[in-house]
Amino acid sequence: MSQTYKAVLFDLDGVLADSAREHYAAWKRLADELGLAFDEQKNERLKGVSRMASLDILLEDAPRPYSDAEKHALATRKNGYYQAIIQKVTPDALLPGARQALEACKALGLKTALASASRNAPLLIDRLGIGPLMDFIADAGAAKQSKPAPDIFLMAAKGVAVPPERCLALDDAAAGVLSAKAAGCYVVGVGDADILAAANAIIPDIAAFDPKSYLD
């Protein structure tokens, strides 16, 4: 690998931490209130996509169409449920090896940035206690398009002043892998090799990430 990488761009959910249960609980509560079916299978389709796109998936089987104003109100309600849940999150919610991966990046002099589709990422990073290990947190709310568009990874690379082609990007969702590739990053898929087949490399989990191995 001849490329010299200067930064590592991390997705959050499913890479550094797993708040899938918290998201599921919040979406399930909203679905129950609306009288809509929502299960783990449908929840899988929400991974890596924006809140509004997730809501559209939730409402696919709704008996009536919802206006944009109603959708925004529902998304805000769901977000309130989720924020209440993550207020209870502690650093114990970090996935095994997550802190060590960030510390290894810093020890090698690599810049670190967060490229998460979640607008709650700054709050979650604070609750997880890894803010000091992040040089930049891209603002998902400022991205014109969500994953699989490249916006969030381009913002993260710009935030650490490193060209995308000099960035490693880690994501656990197919949409995230496509987003990072479109941005021009070298993409490390975290998780299922079949789902993340478009990635340049695959690791089973963040504990298997050794940034030094990509610098040789």
7-18+91-214 and 20-86, same CATH topology: no
Catalytic residues: 11, 13
Residue 78, annotated ligand binder?
yes
Q: What is the pTM of this model?
A: 0.85
Residue 184, annotated as binding a ligand:
no
Dump strand ranges (E) for 73-143. 111-114, 136-137
Q: Residue 92, annotated ligand binder?
A: no
Q: How many residues does the chain have?
A: 216
Give the pLDDT confidence score for residue 50 in this predicted structure: 80
Cβ–Cβ < 8 Å for 119, 78: no
Give the per-residue pLDDT at 20.
77
Please, which residues bridge with residue 157 across strands? none
pLDDT recorded at residue 21: 83
Could you state, in order of their start, the residue ranges of all structural domains in the chain?
A: 7-18+91-214, 20-86
At residue 44, the pLDDT reads 85
User: CB–CB of 149/179 below 8 Å?
Assistant: yes
111 has binding-site annotation? no
* Per-residue pLDDT at 142: 85
For 143-171, the pLDDT digits (tens) are 889 889 999 999 999 999 999 999 999 99
Low-confidence stretches of the chain (pLDDT beneath 50):
1-2
Residue 118 annotated as lining a ligand binding site: yes
pLDDT value of position 3: 64
Q: Confirm whether residue 179 is marked as ligand binding.
A: no
Asked if 210 and 104 touch (Cβ cutoff 8 Å), the reply is yes
The reported pLDDT for the residue numbered 140 is: 87
**Cα–Cα distance between 50 and 149 in angstroms, integer?**
11
Burial level of 69, CB count in 10 A (0-12/13-18/19+)? exposed
**CATH topology classification for 20-86:** DNA polymerase; domain 1 (1.10.150)
What's the pLDDT at 2?
A: 46
| pLDDT number for residue 16 | 97
pLDDT of residue 74: 98
Torsion angle (degrees, nearest 10) of CA 165, 170, 175, 180? -10
Return d(Cα 56, Cα 26) in angstroms, integer: 15
**Alpha-carbon span 66 to 188, nearest angstrom:** 38
Structure confidence at residue 188 (pLDDT): 99
CATH topology for 7-18+91-214 is Rossmann fold (3.40.50)
pLDDT at 33: 98
